[in-house]
Structure formats: C-alpha cells, structure tokens
A and B are shown apart, each in its own frame.
Chain A
Amino acid sequence: MPGKVKEIERKPLSLAEKTFLPQIVSGLKVTCANMLRKKVTREYPDVLPPIPPGYRGMPTLVKDPDGREKCVSCQLCEFVCPPKAIRITPGAIPEGSPDAHVEKAPQEFEIDMLRCIYCGMCQEVCPEEAIFLQNKFTLNGLSRQELVFNKERLYEAGGTLQDQHFKWKKKKESEEHGNAQH
C-alpha cells in the first residue's frame, strides 16, 4: 500500500530503559495488583456455572402438568436425529385409560447419550413439545450400556414442564361438548 505506510522512527532506548529497571518495577506493580484482585476461579463441583436460557444440555422427555406423557411416538425425532441416537418402539394406549383419546404413546424410548450430539433437532421437530434439551451437562457411566437412557430415566430427568396448549385435553373437551374437530 504505497502512500499509506506510516514510518515510525524507532527511538534509541534511554539510559533508564537500558537498565530494564523501570519496566521491571512497572511489571511488578501489575502482578501485585493482580495478586490482590478478586480471583476468577469458579470452584466447579461446589459452585455450578450459571446456565444461559436456550442452553442445549441432555435431551429429556417431559410430562404435562396433568402427568400425561406428552410423546405420542410419531418418531419424527428418530427420523431427524443426525447421529441416529434415538430409537422408539411405538405402542398404543389401552382402551379405558384416561388418555385413551391420544391413542399412541411410546412403548420404549431410548436415547444413546454417547451418540447424541446435542444439536437440538429433536426438540425443534417435535410436534407435541415432548422432548427438550435441558440444563444437565454432566453425564457419566461405567459402561456404554449405562449411557443408553431408557424411557423411565428420560422421564425422570425431564420431569414436568409447563404446558401452553393442553392440545389433547382441549380436543377431548370439545368432543364431549359435541364439537368434534375431525
């Protein structure tokens, strides 16, 4: 870049600078200030880091506030899962159950946490808002098998989340009022 180069004259070191001493003293001041400063260490297992909203931790299955398992085993998450970590065995909800109108629920739902890449696609694709990547970020086990989470453990990890829609409940209610939706 001709014309844009700015030449800076390199000044010879002064006598004080040649002895290094002023620089050493200023360096010592910096480290001394650092020594007295508040420490940045977080003592991890005792003090956990703050988890930002939207964090993608371990995928879990959730229930709605009525205690109904929300997954209807549509298997969209199984199909979208890039590393194929999810395996669903669909099952039917037996007649006579209070949730019989939902018709389907997973008979078994397995997520292999060693394959999971925490991309969150399953959460994005789920039409029932049944699978969420929650805050848990430490997983460990003594064998590979131990880290394949089954339905029971996934629900245990997921717990109950607030539901915005109560889709199936409303549908059943409107049906009962003679206002079937299909």
Chain B
Amino acid sequence: MDWIQLAIEAGFGLAFIIVVMSMAGLTVVAERKFCGFIQGRLGPNRTTIPILGSIPFFGRLITRMGLFQLVADGSKFLFKEEIVPGHVNKFYYNLAPIVALIPPLVPLVVLPFGQMTLADGTIRQLIIANVDIGMLVILAFSSLGVYGTVLAGWAANSKYPFMGGIRASAQMISYELTMGLSILPVFLWANVPGSTEGLSIANIVVFQQTHWFVYLQPLTALLFLVALFAETNRAPFDMAESETDLVGGFHTEYGAFKFGIFFVSEYAHVIVGSGLFVLLFLGGSNFLPMLPNPWPVGIPGAILSTLWFIAKTSALVFFFIWIRWTLPRFRYDQVMNLGWKMLLPVAIANLVFVMVLLATITPVAAQ
C-alpha cells in the first residue's frame, strides 16, 4: 500500500471521527430537546452567543433549537476544575475515560458509510477497511467498551462506582451472547454456500439492495436491538449508572472533562450502534427495499448515499432517545432474567430456526 492511499484513508478516518463526534454533541442536545417535548416542556432554548445570536432569522432559529446549548455544555466541561479525589487509584482513574472513548471509535473503520457507482456500472462500497472479519472487529471492540466502565468503577475506590462497574460487566457478559447469536442468522442468510465474504459488513449491505433483513428476520432484528440497548448502557438497561440507587454509577467520582469524555463516549456508542443496526437490518446506504437505488454515478451519488445512511442512523438515534424517555429502568434482577431466561433461549431457537430454514428452503439470496 503506497503512502497516498494511506493518507487518503487516514483522512477518511479523521473525517469519520469528526462526523461521529459532532453527531454525539448534537445527540446530547437532541436528547435534552426531545426529553423536554415528551415531558411537555420546550427544552433548552435560551442559550445564545452575543453576535451570532443576533443574526436576523438564523440566530433566533438556532437559539430556539438549543444548538448554542451544545457549546455551553461543552465549554463548561472544559473550564471546570479538574478534581482528582484523594482516595482513587490515580493511574487507572485517568486511564478509564481514555479506555471508554476508544472502543466506540475504532469500529468506524469497518462500517460501510456509503456507496459509489463507478462509470462502468460497478458499485463500490465506501469503507475504510473492507476486511472479511468486519463484524468480529466490531464485536471485539464493543466488548472492550465495558473495560472503561469497569476500570472507572474500580479506580474510584468507592462503593457506588464499584457496584456500577460490577453491574456493567455482568450485563455485558449476559447480552454479548444474545448479540452474537442474533448476528449469526444474518450472516448465514447473506453468505450463500461457497461465499468468501466471511463476516464482512459490506457484503451484508450489498445483499440488502432488494430486501432488508428487518422484515426478512424481524425476530433477529428485535433481539439485536434489545442487546444493542444493553450493550450501549442506555435506558432501560442503564444499570451501570442508575442514578436512583447508585448516585451516578461508575462515574460518581468523575468531574469536569473526564466526565465529559464518559458522556461523549456513551453517545458515540449510541451512534455507532445505530449505524450498525442500520447496516445489518435497515439496508445501510441502500435507498428503500424493493426499489432500485437512485444514486447517480460518481461523487454526487456517493454523497447522497452517505447522507441517506446518516439520515437512517439519526432516525434510529431518535428511537434510542424516545425509548429512554418512555421506559422506566429495569430492576437489576429483571435485567439478568430477561437476558438469560428469555433473550438467550429465544436467540438460540432463532438461530436453529434460521439454520433449518436455510437448509430446507432456497433463501432469497440464491434466487
């Protein structure tokens, strides 16, 4: 690989991180805004920046949308005093936010974010690293995500963060199984016998040009979605930070920018998780099921398909927010019961069912 190629891919990676991080910021504002709407309030709508806010129409629009709140929240984290409590293990205490932020960002390299139709009619998936172990990379790194939580819980040397860390790891182990088992049927279906694509996600997106997995395998999609909620530590599965019984959970002892990093990593997790769900079940950058892709040839098509993918991901992020402000948090034993006694058997049964189905009936792929 020559260095120009390398530079282009590094540039893409950087752009990807910038997009995801700014989306994480916007998600925070969206979360506050929709939370307000659901509770009959208006959400943040007064924060403004002196000169920008007085631009005739857009200044007011942006103020009312609460977008300046993003700047205010972010800079608040930056300017706060960085307190390290005396009783913590300093090394791990400082390491934990870093460990928490990296796992949601690494899987970006194997997510195909768009597609480009070349002049000769071939379609190329836009992806930084189209490796045939794509899904495995994602699973590996998303499991590493819990280390940030556990490390924070241990390093804080205090009972509530400790409980939060323990819960997070137990929950991760329980739901990782369901997640893995709900991904397998998708790959079984998409890879016809003799295929060399392996666990490549780009292959799944190519497969979904005509039919989406969300209606080919609705149960699998549901299982994956529930496991995704648990993996991202989002309500109703936010056991790790359940603020009613654990104060703030694993980040009780954190403040200022370190807390900000945990906060951002949670939202980055949500965005990457939504992106993954879109890729596996909602057709990735394909237009709509049973309709041909309308993307024009070349760069415009690539941009349009990428925007379409981002739009789908944003819709799913909205769903995450919607769920959070609808459902109460599960009790801890309910989470474990749901994971081990319901989701896991159903996931295994689903896998066996799909295997038998594929072995007896000709799947859509081979038609």
Contacts and interface: CB of A to CB of B under 8 A. Distances in A.
Interface of A: 18-19, 24, 27-28, 30-32, 34-35, 37, 39-41, 43
A91 to B, nearest CB: 48
B323 A28 contact: yes
**10 nearest A-B pairs in the assembled complex, by CB-CB distance:** A35-B37, A31-B326, A41-B42, A40-B40, A27-B326, A31-B38, A41-B41, A34-B38, A39-B42, A35-B38
Nearest to A45: B46
Interface of B: 34, 36-42, 322-323, 325-327, 342
Nearest to B328: A27
A27 B37 contact: no
Contact of A31 (B41, B42, B325): B325
Given A24-B327, A27-B327, A32 B40 contact: no
Most buried by A among B34, B37, B326: B326
A20 to B, nearest CB: 8
A43 B37 CA distance: 15
A18 B40 CA distance: 30
Given A28-B322, A31-B322, A32-B322, 20 more contacts: A18-B342, A19-B342, A24-B323, A24-B326, A24-B327, A27-B326, A27-B327, A28-B326, A30-B326, A31-B38, A34-B38, A34-B39, A35-B34, A37-B40, A39-B37, A39-B40, A39-B41, A40-B40, A41-B36, A41-B42
Contact of A34 (B40, B42, B323, B327): B40
Contacts of B41: 39-41
Most buried by B among A34, A35, A43: A35
A43 B42 CA distance: 9
Contacts of B326: 24, 27-28, 30-31
A28 B326 CA distance: 6
A24 B222 CA distance: 13
Contacts of B42: 39, 41, 43
Nearest to B325: A31
Contacts of A27: 326-327
9 contacts: A27-B326, A31-B38, A34-B38, A34-B39, A35-B37, A35-B38, A39-B42, A41-B41, A43-B42
Contacts of A30: 326
Nearest to A26: B326
Contacts of B38: 31, 34-35
B53 to A, nearest CB: 15
B351 to A, nearest CB: 18
Nearest to A36: B37
A27 B327 CA distance: 7
Contacts of A31: 38, 322, 325-326
Contacts of A28: 322-323, 326
Contacts of B36: 39, 41
B63 to A, nearest CB: 12
A153 B323 CA distance: 55
B55 to A, nearest CB: 20
A63 B39 CA distance: 47
A108 B253 CA distance: 57
A55 B42 CA distance: 28
A30 B37 CA distance: 12
A39 B45 CA distance: 13
Instruction: Identify the interface centre among A18, A28, A31, A43: most chain B CB within 10 Å of its CB.
Output: A31
A151 B359 CA distance: 95
A34 B43 CA distance: 14
